[in-house]
Structure 1
Amino acid sequence: MLNVADTLHRWCAEQRPFALATVVGVAGSAPLPVGTSVAVDAEGTAVGSISGGCVEGAVYDLCRQVLEEGPAAQRAWFGYSDEDAFAIGLTCGGELDVHVQRIDPAAHPHLVTALTQVANGGTAAIAQIVDGPADLLGGLLTVDGDGHLSGTDLDADTSHTVTRHAQALLRAGHTAHGTLGGDTTCPEQLTVLVHVAATRPRLLIFGAVDFAAALAQTGRLLGYRVTVCDARPVFATAGRFPHAEEVVVDWPHRYLERTAVDARTAICVLTHDTKFDIPLLLLALTLPVGYVGAMGSRRTHNERIHLLNEAGMTAGQLSALHSPIGLDLGARSPEETAVSIAAEIIAHTNSASGLPLSQRTGPIHHRPLPQDAANHVGGSARVTIPAAETD
């Protein structure tokens, strides 16, 4: 869908109905990825491509049919035919599963809002139900750049489940589909395609230490765009941090002042040196980021809190600080500590307890916490459990 976002934004602004054909599954050497769309309006104007030309005529006809005959969504499968290489299909040998539905902008005002954000270079996620019960098929849900539900066609239970899935993909910056529901939180089993317009979330690591090298590798594995920053040029080198996309030599607070952050950004302070930590945390704890954690022993933590209090930080601001950083996994090595920190970031981001699943009851994939139970820095509840103590 987002490959034609500019045109769809204009059509929505003009309240122009259109049919949207979207790739929801690929196999083999299909030329374009899941989420790619063709759109056709009532006048026959078409935009986009889903196959580089192989099946565009058949998809166009299907779009016209959906526009003319009614709102019911349709599915089509296109693949290579061994018997007739000139038959409608992908002569490259791939296979495409295509979902086609009619969209009337007047019935989906939240879609118009999301497309406006995307057209203006912003971040948003648009979830589309492409398989499931007839009354839900084709339903749309949108999540804004801060990860908040901005509109839905779905009932409350389904919205909760789909929103969580969309938020996770938005944080990762990936367009993907998945099967959801079929449990007590959402009785109906659904296939949902989430279209994401977003850069990758940022992981800012301050302190060019061995723990930072391990955390940079873990962060990259989780899909973060990793930056390592340290004021000491002898330590802050690209060779020491091959998994970081950026290694910056600067005082941490000065770099943070000039770099872009958002609600998906995670900040990890690993220096445990007050001359670096205090100016950095005084700034970080006032920013609308998703996570702020600081490494150190209990003694280091207590001294840090004392100095931040003296500098005027409020109890509410300090409550957003994860210190000592990480979950209690008994971590000792840099690699184990990186897993501990990453686990806390994941738990915090998803408003999860961090407890073993064997100690919890109810659904494994739970609903979001009520807003009044959430920490508003990053918009999710905070559970802090000590990690390995490091002086």
Structure 2
Amino acid sequence: MLNIADTLYRWCRDARPFALATVVQVSGSAPLPPGTSLAVDADGAVVGSISGGCVEGAVYDLCRQVLDESGAAVRTRFGYSDDDAFAVGLTCGGEIDVLVQRPGSEDQHHLAVALQHAAQDRPVAVAQVVDGPEDLLGRTLHVHADATTYAGTLGAEHRDQTVAAQARALLRAGHGGRVEVGGGVDTCPEAISVLVHVEAPHPRMLIFGAVDFAAALSQAGRFLGYRVTVCDARPVFATAARFPHADEVVVDWPHRYLAATDVDARTAICVLTHDAKFDIPLLRLALSLPVGYVGAMGSRRTHDDRLDRLRAEGVSQDQLAFLRSPIGLDLGAHTPQETAVSITAEIIAHAHQGSGLPLSRRTGRLHHPVASGALGLVETAVGTAQ
């Protein structure tokens, strides 16, 4: 639902009736991931998409039905129709489960706060019941990164506390997830499945080396949704004018800046200096941190010399195996812009466990499950505390 947070916030703020359709499960190839939503208001206005057009008409009709008739939440599945390519179904061959609900006035009240946070790019997690007893389907609660309390209810205080704790943990990790709660005699006999939608701070891309390649990479990184920092110890090169697409330009020794800044499992570190006096202390530190990607630019000769120096500094073989050097995929790149595409392609492939091969040379499913360290979904089973 956070993909349409701006509009949903306005509808909730104005107490406008609407139906919300959310992808809650994906099997095989599907255009859009779980958590993606489409909404229809009482006037028939539509916002969002859940299938890139494949089943939008059928989902629209379901939304109108929930709005105008039953009001009860409906969960349904869409898949490919072999008999008629124009029938309701996914031509990509996958299946999606969709939950259609009409948020009540109480849900709208607390959702408005959560959606306002998301629309303003402030961290928030919204937990939505997507499977379980009919009277609980669609129920939501939300938590903020800077709050110890939660708003909304899933029907029982002990269940709310458990889900809120899980949602807060996913928010800290920076990705959404699926949480299974209850189902045990000693905990809670009513099992529910909760989809946690997360609006997290943008992942960071730290580019070290104020060179032409950094200018192109900062533009590509920002396009992909990273918060980009360019750092170099040379003030004559590290200027905002040279890197207009970077969110910040820092003049500092690279390893000193890295030691003082915040990183997480989604952070991409790109070392473009290929100068040992900068690279070695920086990479020694970077390879010891829990980040998502570390790459370094340089020739094969530079790479071999770099590995020898890092080993001499005590960097383990396991740490060295994490280093992407020379940086980037083999695209035949020459220009800084082409090299930026090569680097970002490797970051994407690494984050989503892609092969980097042309799709025409692969068999099997096209869409990989999204890795949990890169805006992905994880499944967690927990018992409900008494």
Task: Specify the TM-score bucket, using the shorter chain as the normaliser.
Answer: 0.5 to 0.7
Alignment of 1:163-178 (within 5 A): 163-178=164-179
Q: Give the deviation of 1:178 after TM superposition.
A: 3.0
Are residues 1:237 and 2:282 paired?
A: yes
Q: Which residue of 2 aligns with 1:149?
A: 150
- Distance in 2 (alpha carbons) for counterparts of 1:35 and 1:365: 21
Matches within 5 A, 1:228-377: 235-238=280-283, 241=286, 365=382
State how far apart, in whole Å, the 2-side matches of 1:135 and 1:35 are: 21
Note the alpha carbon deviations across 1:232-268, whole angstroms, 9 max, x for none: 9575324763577699xxxxxxxxxxxxxxxxxxxxx
Gaps of 5+ in 1: 203-207, 214-218, 248-363, 370-391
- Cα offset, 1:119, TM superposition: 1.4
Deviations 1:190-236 (A, max 9, x none): 0111111012789xxxxx99xx99xxxxx96xx353889xxx95753
**Alpha-carbon distance in 2 for matches of 1:21, 1:234:** 49
Q: Which residue of 2 aligns with 1:23?
A: 23
Q: Using the alignment, how far apart are the partners of 2:203 and 2:285 within structure 1? A: 22
How far apart are residue 109 of structure 1 and its match?
Answer: 1.9
Cα 1:365/1:106, change in 2 over 3 Å: closer
Contact 2:122–2:201, Cα closer than 8 Å, also in 1: no
Count of matched residue positions in the alignment of Structure 1 and Structure 2: 239
Structure 1 pair 197/105, CA: closer, same or farther in 2 (3 Å)?
farther
CA 158–168 in structure 1, closer or farther in 2 if over 3 Å, else same? same
CA contact (8 A) 2:181 2:382 kept: no
C-alpha contact 2:122 2:200 (8 A) present in aligned 1: yes
Distance 1:124 1:43 in 2: 29
Q: CA separation in 1, counterparts of 2:280 and 2:290?
A: 14
Name the counterpart of 1:136.
136
2:102 aligned counterpart, secondary structure: strand
TM-score (norm 1): 0.54
CA contact (8 A) 1:164 1:368 kept: no
Q: Which residue of 2 aligns with 1:116?
A: 116
After superposition, where does 1:40-55 map in structure 2 within 5 Å?
Answer: 40-55=40-55
- Selected match of 1:225 from 253, 264, 267: 267
* Distance across 1 between alignment mates of 2:189 and 2:173: 26
Letter in 2 for 1:51: S
The 3-state SS of whatever aligns with 1:182 is coil
Q: Is the 8 A contact 2:182 2:384 kept in 1?
A: no
1:136-166 CA-partner distances (Å, limit 9, x unpaired): 2221111112264233253212102211221
Residue type of the alignment partner of 2:200: A
Contact 1:179 1:191 in 2 (8 A): yes
Match of 1:196 among 168, 175, 198: 198
Is the counterpart of residue 86 in structure 1 residue 98 in structure 2? Answer: no
**Separation of aligned partners in 1, 2:383 and 2:159:** 12
- Displacement of 1:38 in angstroms is 0.3
Distance in 2 between residues matched to 1:239 and 1:128, nearest whole Å: 42
How many angstroms apart in 1 are the aligned matches of 2:66 and 2:27?
A: 25
SS in 1 for 2:111: helix
Letter in 2 for 1:64: R
Provide the rounded CA distance (Å) in 2 between the counterparts of 1:366 and 1:57. Answer: 39
In 2 relative to 1, CA 159–201 (structure 1 residues): closer, same or farther, beyond 3 Å? farther
Gapped runs of 5+ residues in structure 2?
Answer: 205-253, 271-276, 294-380
Letter in 1 for 2:182: G
Contact 2:171-2:200 at 8 Å conserved across structures: yes
The corresponding residue for 2:181 is 180
Q: Give the structure 2 partner of residue 100 of structure 1.
A: 100
Distance 1:246 1:233, change over 3 A: farther
TM-score, normalised via structure 2 length: 0.55
State the identity %. Answer: 53
Partner in structure 2 of residue 5 of structure 1: 5
SS in structure 2 opposite 1:236? helix
* Partner SS state of residue 64, structure 2: helix
- Once residues 25 and 367 of structure 1 are traced to their aligned partners in structure 2, the CA distance between those partners, rounded to angstroms, is 23
The CA deviation at 1:186 is 3.1
Asked if the contact 2:163–2:179 (Cα under 8 Å) also holds between the matched residues in 1, the reply is no
Give, in whole Å, the separation in 2 of the partners of 1:157 and 1:201: 33
What are the superposed Cα offsets for residues 68-119 of structure 1, whole Å, 9 maximum, x if unpaired? 1132110111111222222110111111110000013444422111111111
**d(CA) in 1 for partners of 2:91, 2:384:** 44
Higher relative contact order (CA 8 A, sep 6+): 2
Distance 2:285 2:160 in 1: 45
